[in-house]
Amino acid sequence: MVPNHLESPIASTVDQFEAPAEPTWGARREAAIPRGLSNLLPIFVERAENAELWDLEGRRYIDFAAGIAVVNTGHRHPKIVAAAHAQLDRITHACFQVTPYPSYVELAERLNALAPGPTPKKTLLLTTGAEAVENAVKIARAHTRRRGVVAFSGGFHGRTMMALALTGKVVPYKSGFGPFPGDVYHLPFPNERGSVKVEESIQALDNLLHADLDPSEIAAILIEPVQGEGGFNVAPPEFMRALRQVCDEHGIVLIVDEIQTGFARTGRMFATEHSGIEPDLMTLAKGLGGGLPISAVTGKAEIMDAPLPGGLGGTFAGSPVACAAALAVLDVIEEEGLCARANELGMQMRRFLETLRAEPSLSPVIGDVRGIGAMVAMELVEDGDMRRPGVALTMALSPACAERGVVILPCGLYRNVVRFLAPLTISDALLHEGLAIVGDTLRDLVAAA
């Protein structure tokens, strides 16, 4: 990037003798980091507190992104910070495979007890969401001794090779990175709007079982109960139940990816609970560590025990500091009633967005408002036509909101969905301040178009 003092076509005499300006963080970032890792916003953050961020210049932002659904318990929740601090003072790393420590066991016990369904559970701790997905597939294959894995179009499961193979969106995630591990099949994901009906997805599964792959060769079906990156598409509960039935019938492992939906986000500890089914395995990450990197596979003990001793692990997997934070996260969710709070916040968000949608100037651009609990999205379209994604408006909205002090994230197969993922600890006042800014910004962008 050209230093600022060279950009002016008529530099003053004084300028010519000044030392070159320090390159900005943006320029240094561009020079030092590959473009494949992109930034939504050119904001360098310095600190954060609950639902607010401050940048290097001291500007404050209301955070409706929560680091992509990570700080459900707010930035730097005092109880979580204290637990991590206390652990830092004792031991930061041992590697559980070498010398175990109690907090890993305690966290596994807590997750086992929280996982839906009566079957005894076991938990493996890891570091990232993608790693949890990789390990869930390994465990399902070891248990079934089968190869095939079925996933869904529009799904997102991470950026490692198997997770990418399972991800149902090409650009930008998969472009140029193949070949991917084989034996992966994608089905259409049904939605409550009815553009893909539950029966159509079930029919597609039935076709797959007859046309492509014998059920006795399928190790697992992997599904997000609400697609996150895919656009906050809620899987209808009857579809989750139908998958449970097919898996039971054929001995297929049902893996539910709760990485974005977990930890009170949807108004229950896990989104699976809305359908009342018991998954065989769940992948967990994001909200679990309250900002520290930790993930998990929690599932039926018999299945979890399939891999041989030594077949699972990771140097940093289940770090003591992250385990301490995660135990505090689970306490905070319970003590502060964050499941109920998620439902309350979701109601307020949906009410606000529906009111916006009713405005004559905005009804042609807000095609849909949807979600569950505090996982809420609005889909932007052109001229009220759901088949014409409002990509340009969605992409303009994030930076325009950031200019006015609110961070929002786009998502969706066509990148035309705005998602609202405020920390569940946000105050009503801050939520409404942020929503009003989003509403005003959208009105101004539409008026200027």
Binding site for ligand PMP (CB under 6 A): 68, 128-130, 133, 156-158, 224, 228-229, 257, 259-260, 285
- Least distance to ligand PMP, CB of residue 391, Å: 20
- Least distance to ligand PMP, CB of residue 353, Å: 22
**Between 68 and 95, CB nearer to ligand PMP:** 68
Locate 213 and state its tokens: 């792959």
Cis preceding-peptide flag for 389 (omega within 30 of 0): no
- Least distance to ligand PMP, CB of residue 59, Å: 26
- Least distance to ligand PMP, CB of residue 293, Å: 8
**Between 198 and 284, CB nearer to ligand PMP:** 284
User: Are the C-beta atoms of residues 406 and 435 closer than 8 Å to each other?
Assistant: no
Q: How far is CA 414 from CA 172, 198, 266, 391, in A?
A: 11, 21, 23, 7
- Least distance to ligand PMP, CB of residue 224, Å: 5
d(CA 42, CA 19): 25
- Least distance to ligand PMP, CB of residue 73, Å: 17
Q: Side by side, which strands form the sheet with 52-55?
A: 45-49, 52-55, 60-63, 406-407
d(CA 10, CA 38): 33
What is the SS3 assignment for 184? strand
**Between 148 and 228, CB nearer to ligand PMP:** 228
- Least distance to ligand PMP, CB of residue 181, Å: 16
* Residues with Cβ within 8 Å of residue 70, at least 6 apart in sequence: 286, 287, 289, 290, 291
d(CA 183, CA 181): 7
- Least distance to ligand PMP, CB of residue 136, Å: 10
**Between 61 and 232, CB nearer to ligand PMP:** 232
d(CA 240, CA 228): 16
- DSSP state, 273? G
What's the sign of the alpha-carbon dihedral 260, 334, 131, 122? negative
Position closest to ligand PMP via CB: 129
**Between 155 and 367, CB nearer to ligand PMP:** 155
**Between 149 and 365, CB nearer to ligand PMP:** 149
Alpha-helix runs per DSSP H in 223-337: 237-250, 301-304, 320-335
What is the SS3 assignment for 104? helix
d(CA 2, CA 7): 7
**Between 285 and 430, CB nearer to ligand PMP:** 285
- Least distance to ligand PMP, CB of residue 185, Å: 18
- Least distance to ligand PMP, CB of residue 274, Å: 16
What is the SS3 assignment for 173? coil
**Between 63 and 257, CB nearer to ligand PMP:** 257
**Between 252 and 259, CB nearer to ligand PMP:** 259
**Between 116 and 225, CB nearer to ligand PMP:** 225
- Rounded to a whole number, what is the distance in angstroms from the first to the last CA of the chain? 31
* Residues with Cβ within 8 Å of residue 166, at least 6 apart in sequence: 133, 137, 149, 151, 155, 157, 184, 222
Locate 392 and state its tokens: 């340009």
- Least distance to ligand PMP, CB of residue 363, Å: 30
**Between 128 and 201, CB nearer to ligand PMP:** 128
Locate 293 and state its tokens: 């990197």
